[in-house]
Amino acid sequence: MQENRIWRLIEVLQESTAYLERQRIEHPRLNAERLLGRALGLSRVELYLSFDRPLNEEERAACRTLLQRRASHEPLQYILEETEFMSLPFTVGPGVLIPRPETELLVEEALRFLKPLENSRAVDLGTGSGCIAVSLAHYAPACRVTAVDLSEAALETARKNGARNGAGERLRFVRADILSDDPADFFPEASDCILANPPYISRDEWDRLAPEIREWEPREALCDEGDGLAFYRSIAARTAPYLRKGGRLMAEIGHTQAAAVREIFSESGFGDISVLNDLNGIPRVITAAPQ
């Protein structure tokens, strides 16, 4: 940007969009709008209403700093320190998996199951930011949810998100390794629904992921360092005794994993197995009941 001239906001936005496009950032205009809005303290609507506003050097420097971070492929959500999930605001940052829109299908299915129940109980295995557990507690106030994660940083973020969304008193947080710790430590009582969005990226797939994921998000929250199925095997083998009669096990799955996870659940004594597709027609959620 030329320094010895007056830059209006619309011009800075146009230059920023072109810069992000050259850096091969997806949706460069949207990213530029969000980043400039954060740097200037403006909502998206306010940004559009301020296109003729001149920006001083301090404001342009703040915009440049955020744009450079995004150009390095740092996720937009980490830069903004928040994202939206199930129409709720969630704090996110390095060390915590960014909630994906596809995971909303898992929450919606769990809510359909839990809402008609009185005094229901649910457990979210590998809670991360708490997006699943907090959404359940928010939209199903009669449900008490236990959120489990091995990462203390993730649990702290989940606690903040529970409080942020007014659901903290209906949430219980437990630090545990769901692969090796005694399930009795994080299943204090029989549950109506056990949910998981486990690490399901295989070691062989890891290097093919986008840099925003591979270089920035916590590997342990995404990759099981094996074939991508380790957590499903553990969950299927260890959860049935902790589900109430008529209860459901629900999990998000990778796009090629439906048949393999169905087989794992069936061999572990689960029946009534269903696979749900997301809006793109991709198998995304599997549900099952202990027999």
Q: 201 — phi, psi (to 5°)?
A: -85, 130
Read off the pLDDT of each residue in 160-176 and give the average, rounded to a whole number: 96
Point out the domain boundary residue: 72, 104, 127: 72
Point out the domain boundary residue: 51, 72, 93: 72
Residues 166 and 283 reside in one and the same domain: yes
Number of domains in the chain: 2
- CB burial of residue 217 (10 Å; 0-12, 13-18, 19+): buried
Residues 32 and 160 reside in one and the same domain: no
Q: The domain spanning residue 246 has which CATH number?
A: 3.40.50.150
Residues 126 and 253 reside in one and the same domain: yes
At 128-145, the pLDDT tens digits run: 999 999 999 999 999 999
Largest CA distance in the chain: 74
Q: Average pLDDT over the chain, rounded to whole?
A: 95
Residues 61 and 92 reside in one and the same domain: no
The answer to whether residue 77 sits within a structural domain is no
% of the chain residues with pLDDT over 90? 95
Q: Which residue(s) pair with 248 in the sheet?
A: 193
Closest CA to 291 of 248, 232, 231: 248
**How much is the pLDDT for 15?**
97
The answer to whether residue 97 sits within a structural domain is yes
Residues 182 and 149 reside in one and the same domain: yes
pTM score of the predicted model: 0.93
Q: Rounded to an integer, what distance in angstroms lies between the CA atom of residue 260 and that of residue 258?
A: 6
| Positive or negative torsion for Cα 249, 252, 253, 258 | positive
The answer to whether residue 126 sits within a structural domain is yes
How many angstroms separate the Cα of 218 from the Cα of each of 9, 187, 208? 35, 25, 16
**How much is the pLDDT for 4?**
66
% of the chain residues with pLDDT over 70? 99
At 7-65, the pLDDT tens digits run: 999 999 999 999 999 999 999 999 999 999 999 999 999 999 999 999 999 999 999 99
Residues 142 and 180 reside in one and the same domain: yes
SS3 271: strand
The answer to whether residue 2 sits within a structural domain is no
Residues 118 and 250 reside in one and the same domain: yes
At 62-91, the pLDDT tens digits run: 999 999 999 999 999 999 999 999 999 999
Residues 19 and 43 reside in one and the same domain: yes
Judge whether residue 234 has pLDDT over 60.
Answer: yes
Q: Rounded to an integer, what distance in angstroms lies between the CA atom of residue 207 and that of residue 210?
A: 8
Domain that holds residue 39: 7-72
| Residue 236 · residue 273 · CB < 8 Å | no
The two three-digit tokens of residue 33, written as one number: 């709008």
Residues 112 and 240 reside in one and the same domain: yes
The two three-digit tokens of residue 105, written as one number: 């299908």
Residues 66 and 102 reside in one and the same domain: no
Q: The domain spanning residue 57 has which CATH number?
A: 1.10.8
Point out the domain boundary residue: 28, 44, 72: 72
Read off the pLDDT of each residue in 164-182 and give the average, rounded to a whole number: 94
